[in-house]
Chains A and B, each alone.
Chain A
Amino acid sequence: MLAKTLPEIGGMGHPIKRKEDLRFIQGKGNYIDDVQLPGMIYGHMVRSPYAHARITAIRTEEAKKLPGVLAVITGEDLAKANLAWMPTLFHDKQMVLATGKVLFQSQEVAFVVAEDRYTAADAADLVEIDYEELPVLIDPHKSQDSDAPILREDREEKSNLIFHWEVGDRAATDQAMKSAPVTAKVNAFFPRCHPAPLETCGCVIDFNSATGKLTAWITSQAPHAHRTVFALVAGLPEQNIRVISPDIGGGFGNKVPVYPGYVCAAVAALTVGRPVKWIETRSENLQSTGFARDYHMEAELAADKEGRLKALRVKTLADHGAFNAAAQPTKFPAGLFSICTGSYDFSSAFCEVDGVYTNKAPGGIAYRCSFRVTEAAYLIERAMDVLAQELKLDPVELRRKNFIPPEKFPYSSPLGWSYDSGNYQGALDLALERIGYNDLRKEQAEKRERGELMGIGISSFTEIVGAGPSHTFDILGLKMFDSAELRVHPTGKAIMRMGTKSQGQGHETTYAQIVAQELGIPAADVAIEEGDTDTAPYGLGTYASRSTPTSGAAAALAARKVREKARKIAAHLLEVSEEDLEWEPGKFSVKGAPGKSKTIQEIAFAAYTNFPQGMEPGLEAVHYYDPPNLTFPFGTYIAVVDIDKGTGEVKVRRFVAVDDCGNIINPMIVEGQVHGGLTEGLAIAFMQEISYDESGNIQGGTFMDYLVPTAVETPHWETGHTCTPSPHHPFGAKGVGESPNVGSPAAFVNAVVDALSHLGVKHIDMPLSPWKIWQILKDKGVTQ
């Protein structure tokens, strides 16, 4: 454990209140839609009602006639500037505005620009588009059929297959599967869901024709990367582009991609010559921007009769929609899905993934998860329960038997990862103790006697976060380092600018606490700035629980550089040699002469007023951190559920979440992160799905049907921690924001299946809606 600073310093481990909340709770945040510029005009997107159709004509005359309308931009207009298509973040391209045909319902077809939002919306209704409907491909399982329509006519390859990817040892795994005395298999679909951030996506784009400077306020989780994309796509000099991410109301991966609306607004700003604002509606956000998951997975486990695991074989079909707009910077088409061996020690494993196109919105993004980790964790934790059922073993016992033991770390997984540290048994034991596992099993047995349905679900997940080491990651060639630039002012206060961008994670507080820990400057005295590419150091942004593992590390290392310079100044001021000084947070003292010391504030003043001859004045440092490895947080979650036999409703009675994210910066923020992620996990498990009917119409494209839980649906979360520091991170931290979303869906589903396991139920696909449970109860003769 790290030495704890005094509360007034507020270094690591102090649950200090979030500095940014003062402005948020007073309504004084500055979000995209708060940005107002003189002469600003508004854009509105015209979208396709069809999932697959040829565009035979677009007539914009009537719309243009409406007073107040300034421009109507179509795909043909963009094509003239070579902007009708743009690159996605994963080796594909996507239409900005449709030319020739549309490939999903709600696809962007034209962009109307007007003096105000109302006129823009009215004019959008006046754009007339003739469509000729084409056969629709919705079921990804049919994408390879000989009679399947080929969706992407622009590609040389006339196939709906985007990629086939494999990892691991196929032959050894097949052999192990064949010779194993016990096998278990589960087909698990992780439905298409959407992060649905509170603030939808949007932008304000301003082009100054005198200076040639384009300023873009964008809801961006990665402002620097977006600037580089703008420079590459639009051919503008990068120094003339300034991307500003102001306050952002939630991202969860949804605000990583570059969306057509941003490009259209930029084109409109350039052509009309006035600043353009474009803000998505809620439905537009749900229907057209980055979705998550949509993985059709199959896992097979091989074990001996005692339940010791031998092999894992995984086959997955990934539905990417119309374009492979996967917002993920790994070198692998399925991201980090190969973490699917989870917390268990396998001798062999093999995993293959086919990615395909369908007539659905493009994606997917990593919704509060590091690129397909949620899918992987769900699959292995679900498969473990199916195997336990097969072996008639308690799921706890099966997990205990197969955990990677603490002494095996760093652990090399058969699918190529090097796990940094772990103590899975410790987290499981604490969770079992907290929930009172043995008593619950007794209660369950009694309830079963009485015909009541109660279940207990366990998920002992392993995460992989902190993208990422440059051998495994890049985003359009950019390596996934991150940065911090720390400047201590003469009065001992400081400002630190970061390459990341908070969307609610509390960066202004946690980064300040890292500086407080390293330099003893009170966290309250450290201002944090992010999101302005003209002032912040280059970085890759915030997603994938990477801020603490990367920029957090950079912050600590920049602070240590400052400390080393401070030592030199202190030696000068105290007229001793550097070796004679010892450090405690906030001051250097002369060894053996207590009282003879200089505080960091005194040293800071001297850095500008009384620095040693020959020394560069000032007190600041920059650090760019390329992480040597990812971090591997983990935990055990246990859910207890009761099922209403009459209605099929599931009530989550209790939920214990034990997380291990190494050393914690701010326990209160971590707890808040866990609460939020668990609530999202609950929603995914029980309520949410974006599905499509046979014609490609979106079901669940509004909040009427895409359900976001309220406090009423949310159970009381009981949280706890074990602490296994990361050995390679400067202060032993791991990411945590995503763990609850990654780990919890399996706990919920395992609990519900456990409640029904005595009826022979082995698996139920999410979302576990009441009617689905009722249908099973009816089929099993348990209800009318």
Chain B
Amino acid sequence: MIPKAFDYCRPKTLPEAISLLQQHGDAAKILSGGESLIPMMKMRLAQPEYLIDINQISGLEYIKEEDGYLKIGALTREADLEASDLIRSKYPLILDTAFSIADPQVRNLATVGGNLAHGDPANDHPATMLALNAEVVATGPNGERSIPIKEFFVSLFTTALQPNEILTEIRIPAPPAKSGGAYFKLERKVGDFATVGVAAQVAVDAKGVCQQAGIGLTNAGGTPIKAEKAEEFLRGKPLDDGNISQAASLAADDAHPSSDLRGPAEYKISMVRELTKRALTKAVNRASQER
């Protein structure tokens, strides 16, 4: 548990951080909450030569609604999500997700931006953001660009971020009336990565017919997965048990997990089906309770 030697930089501004990235390229890693990076460094699985600590940069911690979006600053801590009235009242899926991450001590430091930028399919926010059709804002030497979340996760631990870019904001389209979401995570114990997890977000009309459906899968493959066949199937259909069940099977078809100590692939696929059912059912309940 002893990391290799590294240089530590603590920029005060975003441009300063970006110029450090330009200077050091692949040899540098951004440190935000550090809850994944530090353990990897201590086990020498990650050996960055430069650690760029962005925690001194102001203006990256916020949760606000603006221009039809929920905007979350990249340095927003999981604990901030849990405490936010806005999140608690309008975004049950995000609240569920924040609660399911590790333990309170970790959530005091862990950031939403880090959870996404790490590119780990076992992290929880990727599935949530896939279900919510979020956009990720990347800031680089040439300014900001927005990346649809669907295009963000490239492969294991690799995202669409360029080596000279920093993830600065997450934008989530404000949900229409009668929306609801839920996150279900199967874990062996608190603090464990998900055996699998399912994030579901739906919007219904007055008759209970599905207007929008988003489903994201955690730890069900090499990257976070958007269960698009299931989403498409649900649109325009009443969200009854039969349709939910069928959507759950379609979501399971999209899962291609590997076997490990959390269970054989067959089990995990079945759990995607089971948790999709549970997540959709809860999401529908929450949506119908909304006015």
Q: Report which A residues bind B (CB closer than 8 A).
A: 117-118, 121-122, 125, 281-283, 646-649, 687, 699-700, 704-705, 707-710, 712-713, 769-771, 774-775, 778, 783-784
The interface centre, meaning the residue of A121, A713, A771, A784 with most chain B CB atoms within 10 A of its CB, is: A771
Please, how many angstroms separate the alpha-carbon atoms of A253 and B118 in the complex?
Answer: 39
A771 to B266, CA, bound (A): 10
What residues of B have a CB within 8 angstroms of the CB of A704 in the complex?
192-193
Interface pair A647/B186, CB less than 8 Å apart = yes
Asked whether A775 lies within 8 Å of B267 as measured between CB atoms, the reply is yes
CB atoms of B188 and A707 under 8 A apart = yes
C-alpha gap A710/B192 in the complex (Å): 11
Q: Which residues of A contact B1 (CB under 8 A)?
A: 281-283
**6 pairs of A and B residues whose beta carbons are closest in the complex:** A771-B263, A121-B2, A771-B267, A712-B190, A646-B274, A281-B1
Closest B residue to A691 by CB, please name it: B261
Q: Which residues of B contact A646 (CB under 8 A)?
A: 274, 277-278
Q: Which of B44, B188, B261, B270 contacts A774 (CB 8 A)?
A: B270
* B262 close to A710 (CB less than 8 A): no
Known contacts A774-B267, A784-B273: does B189 contact A700 (CB below 8 Å)? Answer: no
Query: What A residues does B189 contact at CB under 8 A?
Result: 687, 707-710, 712-713
- In the complex, the answer to whether B274 meets A647 with C-beta atoms within 8 Å is yes
User: Is B2 within 8 A of A647, CB to CB?
Assistant: no
Q: Contact: B271 with A647, CB < 8 Å?
A: yes
Q: Which residues of B contact A649 (CB under 8 A)?
A: 186
Q: Taking the nearest CB of chain A, how far is it from the CB of B290, in angstroms?
A: 26
Q: Is the interface of A mostly helix, strand, loop or mixed?
A: loop
CB-defined A-B contacts under 8 Å, sample of 12 = A121-B2, A281-B1, A647-B271, A647-B275, A648-B267, A700-B261, A709-B189, A710-B190, A771-B262, A771-B267, A774-B263, A775-B264
For the complex with contacts A125-B44, A687-B188, A699-B261, 10 further pairs of A-B residues with Cβ separation under 8 Å are: A122-B5, A281-B1, A283-B43, A647-B271, A707-B192, A769-B263, A770-B195, A771-B264, A771-B267, A778-B270
Contacts of B188 in A (CB 8 A): 687, 707, 769-770
Task: Judge whether B270 and A784 touch: CB under 8 Å.
Answer: yes
Which residues of chain B have C-beta atoms less than 8 A from A769's C-beta?
A: 188, 263
Asked whether, in the complex, the Cβ of B190 is within 8 Å of the Cβ of A770, the reply is no
Could you tell me the distance between the alpha carbons of A201 and B109 in the complex, rounded to whole angstroms?
A: 30
CA distance A687 to B190 in the complex (A): 12
What is the interface size of chain B, counting residues whose CB is below 8 A from a CB of the partner? Answer: 27
Chain A residue at minimum C-beta to C-beta distance from B2: A121
Bound form: Cα–Cα A121–B4 in Å? 8
Nearest-Cβ distance from residue B118 to partner chain A, whole angstroms: 15
Tell me the bound Cα distance from A705 to B263 in angstroms.
12
Residues of B within 8 A of A (CB): 1-2, 4-5, 43-44, 103, 186, 188-193, 195, 261-264, 267, 270-271, 273-275, 277-278
CA gap between A713 and B103 in the complex, in Å: 13
Which A residues are CB-close (under 8 A) to B192?
A: 704, 707
Distance of A767 from chain B, by nearest CB (Å): 10
Please indicate the chain A residues that have their CB under 8 angstroms from the CB of B103 in the complex. Answer: 710
Looking at B2, B264, B271, which has the most chain A CB atoms within 10 Å of its CB? B2
Distance, CA A118 to CA B2, complexed state (A): 6
Nearest CB in chain A: distance from B268 CB, A: 8
Q: Determine the chain A residues whose CB is within 8 A of the CB of B191 once the complex forms.
A: 710
Residues of B within 8 A of A770 (CB): 186, 188, 195, 263
Give every chain A residue within 8 A of B278 (Cβ-Cβ). 646
Which residues from chain A contact B193 at a C-beta distance below 8 Å? 704
Q: How far is the CB of A306 from chain B (nearest CB, A)?
A: 42
A699 to B261 Cα, complex, angstroms: 8
Cα distance A647–B192 when bound, in Å? Answer: 16
Measured between beta carbons, the chain B residues less than 8 angstroms from A282 are 1
**Which residues of chain B have C-beta atoms less than 8 A from A778's C-beta?**
270
**Min CB gap B160→A, angstroms:** 27
Candidates B5, B186, B190; contact of A118 at CB < 8 Å: B5
CA distance A196 to B270 in the complex (A): 33
Of chain B, the residue at the smallest CB distance from A708 is: B189
CA distance A644 to B249 in the complex (A): 19
Distance, CA A708 to CA B191, complexed state (A)? 10
In the complex, A646 Cα to B248 Cα: how many Å? 13
A residues less than 8 Å from B271 (CB atoms)? 647
The contact of A122 among B4, B261, B275, by CB within 8 Å, is B4
A121 smallest CB distance to B (angstroms): 4
Nearest CB on A from B131, distance (A): 20
Across-interface contacts of A705 in B (CB, < 8 A): 261
Closest chain-A Cβ to B125's Cβ sits at a distance in Å of: 20
A514–B252 Cα distance when bound, in Å, is 63
Q: How far is the CB of A408 from the nearest CB of chain B, in Å? A: 44
Q: How far is the CB of B191 from chain A (nearest CB, A)?
A: 7
Would A117 and B195 count as touching, CB distance under 8 A?
no
CA distance A647 to B1 in the complex (A): 35
A769 to chain B, nearest CB (A): 7
CB neighbours (8 Å) of A699 from chain B are 261
A361 to B: closest C-beta gap in Å: 18
Q: Which residue of A lies closest to B42 (CB)?
A: A281
A122 to B6 Cα, complex, angstroms: 12
Alpha-carbon distance A774/B196, docked complex (angstroms): 15
Best-surrounded residue of B103, B195, B261 (most CB of chain A within 10 A): B261
Measured between alpha carbons, how far is A283 from B275 in the docked complex, in Å? 33
CB distance from B26 to the nearest CB of A (A): 21
Smallest distance from the beta carbon of A555 to chain B beta carbons, Å? 40
Q: Which chain A residues border B264 with CB–CB below 8 Å?
A: 771, 775
